[in-house]
Amino acid sequence: MSLFKSDSVRTTAIYKNVAASFFLKGCSAVIALLMVPLTLTCLGEYRNGVWLTISSMLVWIDQMDIGLGNGLRNKLAACIAHNHMQEARCVISSTIFMLICIIVPLTAILCLLILTTDVFAFFNVDATIIPDLRNVLLSAVILVCMTFVFKTVGNIYMGLQLPAVSNMILVIGQAIALVTTWFLLQNGVATFYNIVIANTLAPLAVYLTAYMLTLYKYHIELRPSLKCVNLHSAFELGNLGIKFFWLQIAGIIQFMTANILISKFFTPDMVTPYQIAYRYTSLVIVAFTVVCMPFWNATTDAYERKEYEWIRHANQTMNLMMIGIAFLLMAMVALSPWVYDVWIGDKCHVPFGMTAMMALYVFLLVLSMRYSYFLNGIGALRLQLYMTAVTVFYIPLAWFVSKETGDILWLMVVMCLCITPSIFINMIQFHKILNGKAKGLWKI
């Protein structure tokens, strides 16, 4: 089985997936907007707040795959590029085996904690308002932990260079949760327990259905089997996954600690305009990710086939895209006073300089991602991991600048400075690998 037999087929597949992903991301955003007032109507302000608190905790379970999903998509794309379908089956089998090994003890530990601790005190919940909190938590945790395994089908489609299908599965789950919630409200049974079950059971049902259809009907050759589990391959995927996991965590640490630093060295009030500026300018990141995600595994396919000319052509396309992003961000900064006035009115003032600095930070972040997507696609993670050491210097440098200047813009300057070295390193490594000159640390 060969998914890409020519440059034109690969490129056409990317364009189709980008277009479909844009549409699906739009649908996802609309569903999320509709869900907010609907759940608020069903639960009221207090219960809805508790649900949001619980759901934020459940999100962390999704992150506990230590990057195995990203490791799977890279390895699967490489296997398919070489038409090694038996090896691809072993990779999927080994990944699912590793995920089960992670989630079973985690589920047991979480259930034990829920049963033995005072969950009402932990979540600061009034037991007279939500008396069934313990049962809600047990049910939600079990359902989300089951989803943890079956959502692997999304990564499989990423490896097959069909990210639009992965996005479609996610959107269908969100849509079913929305419709179910509306149905519960219309029938007068929108209890706290039922709303939580609707929002956690819907994605599980969709992922389970997609898993069965994908691996037991449409791609039987990839069906996992215990006989195909290779412990060496499993640990190899785990090592690769941990690298992806650490890269993600390092990025989160750098940005999320900014909120804490702003609150500590300035005022908590300053966190709000900072977050508003980020959410506004980060719309560019969302769009960039949708466009570039298909390039990740398509690049893996092209690199494995030694089709370097296709990669060079893709690189030229990315260069033009970066120019467009630069102009887009400048336009967004220029229009920001009007956008903020329409969006948030007089509830919060966002300084123009803060928006400009955030736009610069977002541009640098996208520029770094523009090269890291290629490097991630071929598994060139070692040098990127070394560059995360910059995170160690970020916090003390940000602390010093904040104390000395008392100006939040200088904190944002530090954020920009700390991301800049990674851009140059990623760019140099990209060209060295593409031109066959990567040696020593520059090698994969």
The pLDDT of 33-59, averaged and rounded, is: 72
> Would you state the pLDDT for residue 263?
58
Provide the pLDDT confidence category of residue 97 given band limits of 50, 70 and 90: confident
Degrees, nearest 5: CA angle 227-228-231:
100
Tokens representing 141 are 């945790």
Instruction: Write down the pLDDT at residue 5.
Output: 43
Query: pLDDT band at residue 389, thresholds of 50, 70 and 90?
Result: low
Q: Is the pLDDT of residue 365 over 70?
A: yes
Return the minimum-mean-pLDDT range out of 279-283, 363-367, 384-388, 409-413: 384-388
User: Rounded to 5 degrees, what are φ and ψ at 230?
Assistant: -115, 110
Residues 97 and 77: their CA atoms lie apart, in Å, by 19
Q: Which residue has the higher pLDDT, 300 or 99?
A: 99
383: left (phi over 0), alpha (psi -120 to 50) or beta: alpha
Does 7 score more than 70 pLDDT?
no
Whole-angstrom Cα distance, residue 65 to residue 248?
12
Averaged pLDDT, 34-52: 74
Separation CA 95–CA 174 (nearest Å): 25
* Separation between Cα atoms, residue 72 and residue 87, nearest integer Å: 12
pLDDT in tens, 268-302: 566 667 777 887 888 888 778 777 766 665 776 77
Q: Is the pLDDT of residue 308 over 90?
A: no
CB 216 within 8 A of CB 156: no
User: Given pLDDT bands bounded at 50, 70 and 90, which one contains residue 143?
Assistant: very high
Looking at residue 1, its pLDDT comes to 38
Q: Can you read off the two tokens belonging to residue 420?
A: 């800049």
Q: Residue 196 CB: number of other CB atoms within 10 A?
A: 25
Residues whose CB is less than 8 angstroms from the CB of residue 381 and which lie 6 or more positions away in sequence, other chains included: 240, 243, 244, 247, 375
Residue 65 pLDDT exceeds 60: no
Tokens of 265: 């060295």
Helix axes 308-343, 408-434, angle to 10 degrees: 160
For residue 355, name the pLDDT band (cuts at 50, 70, 90). very high
Mean pLDDT, rounded, of the chain: 77
Asked whether residue 11 carries a pLDDT value surpassing 60, the answer given is: no
Average pLDDT on 195-205 reads 92
Measure the CA–CA gap between 52 and 58, rounded to whole angstroms. 10
pLDDT digits (tens, 9 = 90+) for 419-433: 888 888 888 888 887
Q: Is the sign of the CA dihedral 134, 122, 128, 192 positive or negative?
A: negative
Higher pLDDT, 22 or 186: 186
| pLDDT the model gives residue 209 | 92
Say if residue 333's pLDDT is above 80: yes
Dihedral sign (CA 111, 116, 120, 123): negative
Of 83, 63, 62, whose CA–CA distance to 146 is shortest? Answer: 62
Q: How far apart are CA 123 and CA 334, in angstroms?
A: 43
> Domain ranges in the chain?
7-229, 239-442
Alpha carbon distance 353, 413 (integer Å) = 11
Q: In this model, does residue 331 exceed pLDDT 70?
A: yes
- Note whether 378 and 372 are within 8 A (CB): no
For 411, residues 6+ apart whose C-beta sits below 8 A from its C-beta are: 258, 261, 262, 265, 398, 401, 402
- Point out the least confidently predicted range of 117-131, 178-192, 225-239, 244-258: 244-258
> What does the pLDDT read at residue 391?
65
> How far is it, in rounded angstroms, from Cα 431 to Cα 6?
23
377's CB contacts (< 8 A; 6+ apart) are 74, 77, 295, 296, 297, 298, 299, 300, 303
Q: Is the pLDDT of residue 88 over 90?
A: no
Q: Across residues 356-371, what is the average pLDDT?
A: 89
Length of the chain in residues, anyone? 444
Averaging pLDDT over each range in 2-6, 52-56, 309-313, 387-391, which range is the top one?
309-313
DSSP 240-256: HHHHHHHHHHHHHHHHH
Average pLDDT over residues 328-340: 92
Q: What is residue 410's predicted lDDT score, i.e. its pLDDT?
A: 87
Q: Which pLDDT belongs to residue 2?
A: 41
